[in-house]
Structure 1
Amino acid sequence: MAQTHTETLGLTRVLEAARNNFDVAITRQAAEAAKADVLAADRAPFPIFNAKTSQMYLDSGVNGNQGIGPGPFGQKNIDKSGGIDWTWERGSKRALRTQSAGRLANAAQADLQDMVQVQQAGAASAYFDLLAARERNREMHALANSALMLAKSAGLRLKAGDLSAQDTARLEIEAQRAQADAHSAQLDQQRALLLLGQLTALRVDLTRWHIAADWPALPTAPLSSNIPETWVEQRPDVKAALERVAAAQASLDLAMSQKKADVTVGSSLDHDPRVSRRSLELRFSVPLQWGYGFEGEIGRAQAQLTQAQDVAEKTKQDARAELQRLLEELRTAVQRETLYAQDIMPRARRVAEQAEVAYTKGASSLTDLIDARRTLRNTLIEATLARTDFAKSSVVWDLRTANISR
């Protein structure tokens, strides 16, 4: 009965799943929290309501005091007061506070974009490792079956006296080695599958899933020879570092703005039936900044600005080096994949096929056959590695330069 595949796993689905894995989700929530910080920063101080009562004479009849008197609370002999105080922030503190929070929110958004790229690159690498492991598993099993058939044929020839026991044993050993290689390839396939599941949260069952081989094609246009500075500045990690520099500058300006003291103004409505029906009180207060000019806050903000600038320069340097490394790796991988796909691999297969035909006809020795099969085995492994390296380099390069205007 034919096996039915209910799900398909391709590169597009892997990248989409990696966009929503746990690491990205955690970073996305950090970006949402940074957006909320902007709302928290962009507000004026709350007005303060205050109320009080005073001059309540409880000793009625003593020294002519009338006590609190009869009647409702408003008619009692009590001085009642209610008012509002409000602080006026000077020195553009609210604007600077909001600007700093906004820059940090932009940095968090750039961090999210960078995390998505990193997780997608890791998931794509795991996907290509899975494809390589499946291909190597298939090739190793084919070699193992071929070696097993050759070993069985050697056993028949031994019984017929047409082959020595030593040559028969050598062929049996080669068949067992091929089976061991097949088991190793099967283990590599399971490891790649587990790693892919960790990065994408996809539970892939090879018995129900169709694994699409979305190998990237070799580039037709020549690759760039250098990394322009504009490419570096458009990377999300560099953008995040530059946004943090701007946030640190706003924080420094905010610290310096504290030298402009905030003013608190207020008013109260007083009522005392013993004196008058009502009276108005106006208040004005300002802190006296004597002996301290916020040198500590300013010094800390200045140090954090310098630190952010150093981090930004280091991030640029690392980004430039990474882009250059990725470009060189891609260029080398293209050359290796082209060489193996168009020259080395076809020749290795032809040599192995010719060696088997020649050995079957008695035109070559067993040593020549074993050497040809070992060469094919090693070439298959190397060709798969070359193809995998190219696929990884190509996708990672595309991801890390996806948002660059060229």
Structure 2
Amino acid sequence: MNTTTRCAALIAALLIAPATVSALTLAEAERVMAQHNPDLLAAAIELRGTQGDAQSAARRPSPELSVGTSKISRQEGIGPGRWKDKRVDSTLGLGWTWERGGKRGWRMRQADALVEAAQLSLLDGRRQQQVALREAYFGLKAAQELSRIAEEDRRASAESLAAADRQVATGAMAPIERARLAVDDLKVADAAREAALGLREARHVLALLLGCDADEALHADDEWPHPASAATAAMATLDERVDLRAAEARVIAADAARALARSERRRDVQFGIEAEREPADIGGVTWGLSMSVPLGGATRWRGEQQRAEADYDAAVLERQELRREAAAELDQLRHALAAAAQRRTAYEQLQGPAARKSMEGLELAYRRGAATLTDLLDARRSWREFESDLVDARLAHASALARWNAAISVSEGHTP
């Protein structure tokens, strides 16, 4: 069973498990995303790779075994008899490399810092994916409400058009007014089709984050977040944010790489011991020792050192830029959340009742002949625009709240 099939089965189980649940909740969507989101899986694979690099960095240079045979003559051959009676010179050697300058320690420090950076990047990726998930989830909820509103408007418009046909037949309505209702019905039908396409697109966006195929049963069931939930939690300091901690770990890794490049000034030494047997020269086995050191001037590793210095400066610059961006982001998101909460509250508490009363009053006045068809159509159009703006205000508030909570999230990748 492949990943897509397992994910689809998990969503299906979540949808049909309790008899009272007919849709996917946000908590269930987070659980599915944690298991199947492609970006999170890629970050986990990258973490496994860096852990393997750390194991390689801690490995000491392995001893080297060498076996050789020399003095093989084309004229006289290697001689008759057993191997020990041959004329050839046989050698067996063993060599060790002594790393100087603390190279192994700097390699381990660099690898450990990169592992920590990969772990924090995984948490930061989870934090960002949670923001995207909430935006996609409530985007689906907004598309569902817009589709429902558009369908209700389409049914109401069809009923009004049918009633107009009866009134035209009895002479109570002029055909030109019926034609105006028909034009408005076309607009309502177009809006319903656009809302249906928007709903399908929202399902695809959410399904991609979940790592699954889009399904008609994918339905957002949670309520809109309450405006009063606008960041009552304590804000974490900038140093506790996972993205800034990851940047700090990359600086540590770059500093270790710089020290490793500098340690190359102290050349490694290779020691060896060798056993040699040459029957034609000295009977038995003779022993020998060797030591080798690479030669070169002071400029031998200058290029590597310059590259390491440049990488360190780039890591420090990136850390500074991230801190400035994080500080600016917090200030911007704080004001954006406050504005979104005020806008949603205004639509829900002030403009909502007034718009509904205006719509109901125009409907009643039109039925009693106290209002014109133009007034009725204008009232219906204003009501549809208000409902769409209300859904947009709720979606904007949910997105702003998700971004704010992600911006103040701490080391575990969750909101405080």
Q: TM-score when scaled to structure 1?
A: 0.88
Counterpart residue number, 2:137: 127
Give the partner amino acid of 1:44.
R
Give the partner amino acid of 2:59.
R
Give the partner amino acid of 2:222.
A
Question: Which range is displaced more, 122-131 or 36-45?
Answer: 122-131
Match for residue 396 of structure 1 among 357, 381, 403? 403
SS in 2 for 1:8: coil
Correspondence 1:25-104 to 2 at 5 A: 25-55=41-71, 70-104=80-114
Counterpart residue number, 1:212: 221
Once residues 258 and 400 of structure 1 are traced to their aligned partners in structure 2, the CA distance between those partners, rounded to angstroms, is 42
Counterpart residue number, 2:357: 350
Correspondence 1:200-239 to 2 at 5 A: 200-206=210-216, 208-209=217-218, 211-220=220-229, 231-239=237-245
Once residues 197 and 120 of structure 2 are traced to their aligned partners in structure 1, the CA distance between those partners, rounded to angstroms, is 38
Change (3 A) 1:90 1:291: closer
Give the partner amino acid of 1:312.
R
Deviation track 1:21-79 (CA, whole Å, cap 9, x = no partner) reads 2222222212211111111111111111112334567767xxxxxx9655321244444
Change (3 A) 1:291 1:193: closer
Counterpart residue number, 2:327: 320
Counterpart residue number, 1:178: 188
Change (3 A) 1:211 1:310: closer
Once residues 357 and 322 of structure 1 are traced to their aligned partners in structure 2, the CA distance between those partners, rounded to angstroms, is 50
SS in 1 for 2:265: coil
Change (3 A) 1:357 1:364: same
Query: Does residue 22 in structure 1 map to residue 38 in structure 2?
Result: yes
Match for residue 284 of structure 1 among 267, 287, 291? 291
Give the partner amino acid of 1:127.
Y
Once residues 31 and 79 of structure 2 are traced to their aligned partners in structure 1, the CA distance between those partners, rounded to angstroms, is 78
Consecutive unaligned residues of structure 2, counting only runs of 5 or more, are 1-14, 17-21
Question: Which range is displaced more, 98-107 or 11-20?
Answer: 11-20
The question of whether the paired residues in 2 share the 8 Å contact of 1:333 and 1:393 is answered with yes
Correspondence 1:368-379 to 2 at 5 A: 368-379=375-386
Change (3 A) 1:283 1:155: same
Counterpart residue number, 2:369: 362
Once residues 269 and 330 of structure 2 are traced to their aligned partners in structure 1, the CA distance between those partners, rounded to angstroms, is 53
Change (3 A) 1:111 1:129: same
Identity within the alignment, %:
31
Consecutive unaligned residues of structure 1, counting only runs of 5 or more, are 61-66
Change (3 A) 1:222 1:89: closer
Once residues 372 and 57 of structure 1 are traced to their aligned partners in structure 2, the CA distance between those partners, rounded to angstroms, is 110
Counterpart residue number, 1:306: 313
Count of equivalent residues: 392
Once residues 108 and 26 of structure 2 are traced to their aligned partners in structure 1, the CA distance between those partners, rounded to angstroms, is 41
Greater Cα radius of gyration, structure 1 or 2: 1
Q: TM-score when scaled to structure 2?
A: 0.86
Counterpart residue number, 2:276: 270
SS in 2 for 1:301: helix
CA drift of 1:128 comes to: 1.4
Once residues 154 and 89 of structure 2 are traced to their aligned partners in structure 1, the CA distance between those partners, rounded to angstroms, is 103
RMSD: 2.5
Correspondence 1:102-181 to 2 at 5 A: 102-181=112-191
The question of whether the paired residues in 2 share the 8 Å contact of 1:272 and 1:278 is answered with yes
CA drift of 1:232 comes to: 2.6
